Amino acid sequence: MGEMSSRDALDLFSGARGWDVAAEPLGWTTYGVESWEPARLTAARAGFAHLPSMDVRHVVAWPGDYDLLLASPVCTTFSPAGNGAGRRTMAAVLAGVRAVADGAEPTSLDLDPLTALVLEPLRIALEGLPRVIAWEQSDRVLSVWRECRLPLMAAGYSVAVDVLDAADYGVPQNRKRAVLVARRDGIAAVLPGITYGSDWKPYVTQGEALGWPDGTYVVSNYGTGGNPRNRGRRTAAQPAFAVTGRADRNKVHFPDGHVRNLTLSEAARLQTFPDDYVWHGTKSEVGQQIGNAVPPRLAHAILAGLR
């Protein structure tokens, strides 16, 4: 991995580098692992470095290589918007956690290749033993992160796991994510306390974040309650729907009757990326990067407690 300082971080599946937008101001120099070229070019424009190895399955970690391990594995097979392969084979995934703890390679397991990627952070953590760890994924992965607690604790970590809603940390969208944090420095790992949603500090709304007038509302591209025709609706006075790779298909209805699609720049702002963050790729590629990213404001809340 080359020469690294004691404050270096390894960001697996680095995508649009939302973790890194939060980590670097906190003092970590980040190195990403990402196989998708548009995301790598976006990160390069933002000044973030990548390791020569683009495939997380080829990353070899050694104790002392890095201080922080970040991971947001591909959620396609777990997310309700994905194909469901991970959800259908959850028993095998949990058995895979135990196998990796015993030294198996995730690629050797009888799992869908995309699903098996969720086990790579555990493999690398047990190899490299970083001081601190922060992982996030679809809330459907909570049971996987919980299963990872035992091998991490056996390796000397204190571990905290739960589902966090990004809106509780100042992100102007409801985005529920399974989050695991761990420490191997004698300090108890804790998840951040909720800072928004009370009377004294209300949620940041999508109207506030995007400068929309009262009376504006958004109709989701996705169905709700299992009915694809029952499209959800959120007003400007509420946090937004979770931003996905197809967020620009959501319809924005203004009080004067004008209707248009949500723009990608609006989706990025709902994810709390800086307005000057430059994206590389086609419209669909940029949308996917935005939707896949960890909201930097949520990432900052998680990492600030691990600094």
Closest CA to 126 of 158, 92, 103: 103
pLDDT digits (tens, 9 = 90+) for 6-22: 589 999 999 878 999 99
Q: Can you tell me the distance from the alpha carbon of 86 to that of 77, in angstroms, rounded to the nearest whole number?
A: 5
Q: Identity (one letter) of the amino acid at 3? A: E
Residue 190: partners with Cβ closer than 8 Å, 6 or more residues away = 160, 181, 305
pLDDT at residue 297 greater than cutoff 60 = yes
- DSSP 8-state symbol, 240: B
- DSSP 8-state symbol, 242: P
pLDDT at position 225 is 59
pLDDT, mean of residues 209-217: 98
pLDDT digits (tens, 9 = 90+) for 237-282: 999 999 999 999 999 999 999 999 999 999 999 999 999 999 999 9
pLDDT at position 81 is 66
| % residues pLDDT > 70 (the chain) | 95
Assigned token pair, 139: 């809330």
- Residue 69 near residue 125 (C-beta atoms within 8 A): yes
Assigned token pair, 282: 């086609």
Consecutive H or E run containing 101: helix 90-101
Q: Can you tell me the distance from the alpha carbon of 238 to that of 202, in angstroms, rounded to the nearest whole number?
A: 10
Q: Give bridge partners of residue 183 from the DSSP assignment.
A: 132, 158
Provide the CA 93 distance to its chain's centre, in angstroms.
19
Confidence of residue 82 (pLDDT cuts 50, 70, 90): low
pLDDT digits (tens, 9 = 90+) for 88-105: 899 999 999 999 999 999
Closest CA to 49 of 61, 63, 64, 66: 66
CA angle 131, 274, 137 (to 5 degrees): 45
Q: Which domains does the chain have, with CATH numbers?
A: 8-197+292-304 (3.40.50.150), 206-274 (no CATH)
Largest CA distance in the chain: 62
Confidence of residue 1 (pLDDT cuts 50, 70, 90): very low
Q: Can you tell me the distance from the alpha carbon of 241 to that of 125, in angstroms, rounded to the nearest whole number?
A: 33
pLDDT, mean of residues 104-129: 96
pLDDT at residue 300 greater than cutoff 90 = yes
